[in-house]
Amino acid sequence: MLKEKVLAKINDQFQFEIESAYLYYAMSAYFESINLKGFANWMTIQAQEELTHSHRLFTYIINRGARPSFGAAAAPKQDWKSPLDAMKDAYKHECKVSEMINECVGVAMKEGDHMTTTMLQWFVNEQVEEEAAADDVAQKLKLIGDNSGALFMLDSELSKRTLAPETGAA
Ligand SMILES: [Fe+2]
Ligand SMILES: [Fe+2]
């Protein structure tokens, strides 16, 4: 059985992963609106990945004999000044998620819940990649500056991203 404090943290994370998906769908729609379809694809895949993260936590709560609870998902920001502005926000968002995951681990450890800390290790590792992936695109955009040819080359590169198969059991 999950302890109340652990359940509360994991449940918040379950919801926040859905809010992350919501934000990335909003970013995808923004990129579609400025005809950067590769960036839009990258963001749609990102949103889909976030839904798999949410699903992972949902399944974990169920498997531990608890019942997930459902709050309102916050409306995401929907407009950005530039592709760089959006990618910087994506990077900041991932840093926030990393902090939240760290807090989840902290609570699970404090409560002596080894099953939850072990389950969360997947998220700890995933966040290293999540931060790096968003920052990589943001850094490339900084180098690109006003060069529209280079921007379209990056857009074409990002159009190739596909949903990676799930790794490890929840
Ligand atoms: Fe996530
Ligand atoms: Fe993420």
Q: Residue ranges of the domains in the chain?
A: 4-70+81-158
Position 166 scores a pLDDT of: 74
Q: From the CA of 97, how far away is ligand 2's center (Å)?
A: 7
Position 167 scores a pLDDT of: 66
Q: Which residues surround ligand 1, an ion (CB under 5 A)?
A: 17, 50, 53
Nearest to 130 by CA among 59, 24, 38, 32: 24
Position 164 scores a pLDDT of: 86
* Calculated CA dihedral for residues 102, 108, 112, 114, nearest 10 degrees: -90
Q: From the CA of 120, how far away is ligand 1's center (Å)?
A: 12
DSSP the chain: ---HHHHHHHHHHHHHHHHHHHHHHHHHHHHHHTT-HHHHHHHHHHHHHHHHHHHHHHHHHHHTT------PPPPPP---SSHHHHHHHHHHHHHHHHHHHHHHHHHHHHTT-HHHHHHHHHHHHHHHHHHHHHHHHHHHHHHHTT-HHHHHHHHHHHTT--PPPP-S--
Position 83 scores a pLDDT of: 98
Q: What is the pLDDT of residues 73-104, one digit of tens each?
A: 999 999 999 999 999 999 999 999 999 999 99
Whether 67 contacts 61, CB under 8 Å? yes
Whether the per-residue pLDDT at 169 is higher than 70: the answer is no
Q: From the CA of 111, how far away is ligand 2's center (Å)?
A: 26
Q: What is the pLDDT of residues 120-165, one digit of tens each?
A: 999 999 999 999 999 999 999 999 999 999 999 999 999 999 998 8
Position 1 scores a pLDDT of: 86
Q: From the CA of 20, how far away is ligand 2's center (Å)?
A: 7
Q: From the CA of 159, how far away is ligand 1's center (Å)?
A: 21
Tell me which ligand sits closest to the C-alpha of residue 130: 2
Q: From the CA of 26, how far away is ligand 1's center (Å)?
A: 16
Q: From the CA of 170, how far away is ligand 2's center (Å)?
A: 16
User: What is the residue type of 139?
Assistant: Q
Tell me which ligand sits closest to the C-alpha of residue 50: 1
pTM value?
A: 0.95
What region, left, alpha or beta, does residue 126 occupy, with left being phi > 0 and alpha being psi -120 to 50 degrees? alpha
Tell me which ligand sits closest to the C-alpha of residue 129: 2
Q: Give a three-class secondary structure readout of 57-75.
A: HHHHHHHCCCCCCCCCCCC
Q: From the CA of 151, how far away is ligand 1's center (Å)?
A: 27
CATH topology of domain 4-70+81-158: Ferritin (1.20.1260)
